[in-house]
């Protein structure tokens, strides 16, 4: 009798496919929903990561070129007149918007105060554009492991129900449900880890770029 049960368990285990596709197909609706959510979050996170990597590379290079051209120019006003209308560099946009406000200011006594306020507002405006989607990365990094854990707990509960129904505690009965459960946890970590690393990296890059804009604005104010 024991030999029959053992041979049956071995036979079931050998026929069980533990590929990722089969784990998803065998999972119930709740675990499938968790897996789909985590995969979608991971894909969108990577899309944001790639976009931000390209963005920081672009603006760091363009801002270096802008600063070099600015300090070589004869005056701020003459340089302002040479800036293209479709320019996208954040530092150039801060300078352009601030100069527009400065040129409209007739009173010289109010010029410094108004220009200082405009620089601060424009820097904040540009940084808000750069930091767009940071909240999503932070949310995925914080919640994805718990979403995966929920799928794991649900999958283990299903495994226990399978044991109770079949009245068989062999590994062949328990293993598929546990594998599905652990798959959800693995996906949660797979989505969370890159999101957390990327959020910390981009947050640091944003602070450095913000400091670069502030340093430029201070130097710009001194020449005005």
Contact 45, 196 (CB under 8 A): no
Q: How does the average pLDDT of the chain come out, rounded?
A: 82
CA angle, residues 89, 100, 82, in degrees to nearest 5: 55
Q: What is the three-state SS of 7-45?
A: HHHHHHHHHCCCCHHHHHHHCCHHHHHHHHHHHHHHHHH
Question: What confidence tier does 5 reach under pLDDT thresholds 50, 70, 90?
Answer: very low
Q: What angle do CA 175, 180, 185 make, to 5 degrees?
A: 120
Q: pLDDT at residue 196 above 70?
A: yes
Name, of 2-16, 100-114, 174-188, the range with top average pLDDT: 174-188
Q: What contacts 34, CB < 8 A, 6 or more positions away?
A: 147, 148, 150, 151, 154, 184, 187
Tens of pLDDT along 63-86?
999 988 888 887 777 888 888 888
pTM of the model: 0.79
Nearest to 184 by CA among 74, 8, 14, 20: 20
Cβ neighbours around 97 below 10 Å, total: 17
What residue has token string 């352009």? 96
> Which is more confident, 79 or 14?
79
**DSSP single-letter state for residue 2:** H
Percentage, residues of the chain above pLDDT 70: 79
Split at pLDDT 50, 70, 90, the class of 11 is: very low
In sequence order, the 6+-apart residues with CB closer than 8 A to the CB of 188 are 38, 144, 145, 146, 147, 148, 149, 151
């Amino acid at each position: 009798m024991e030999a029959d049960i053992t041979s049956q368990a071995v036979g079931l285990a050998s026929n069980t496919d533990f590929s990722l596709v089969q784990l998803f197909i065998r999972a119930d609706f709740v675990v499938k929903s968790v897996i789909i959510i985590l995969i979608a979050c991971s894909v969108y996170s990577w899309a944001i990561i790639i976009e931000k990597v390209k963005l920081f590379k672009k603006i760091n290079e363009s801002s270096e070129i802008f600063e070099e051209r600015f300090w070589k120019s004869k005056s701020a006003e003459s340089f302002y007149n040479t800036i293209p209308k479709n320019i996208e560099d954040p530092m150039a946009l801060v300078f352009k918007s601030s100069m527009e406000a400065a040129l409209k200011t007739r009173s010289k006594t109010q010029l410094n105060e108004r220009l200082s306020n405009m620089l601060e507002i424009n820097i904040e405006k540009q940084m808000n554009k750069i930091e767009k989607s940071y909240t999503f990365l932070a949310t995925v990094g914080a919640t994805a492991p718990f979403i995966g854990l929920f799928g794991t707990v649900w999958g283990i509960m299903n495994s226990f129900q399978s044991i109770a129904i079949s009245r068989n505690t062999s590994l062949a009965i328990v293993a598929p449900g546990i594998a599905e459960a652990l798959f959800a946890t693995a996906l949660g970590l797979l989505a969370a880890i890159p999101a957390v690393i990327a959020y910390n990296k981009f947050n640091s890059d944003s602070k450095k770029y913000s400091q670069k804009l502030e340093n430029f604005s201070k130097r710009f104010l001194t020449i005005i």
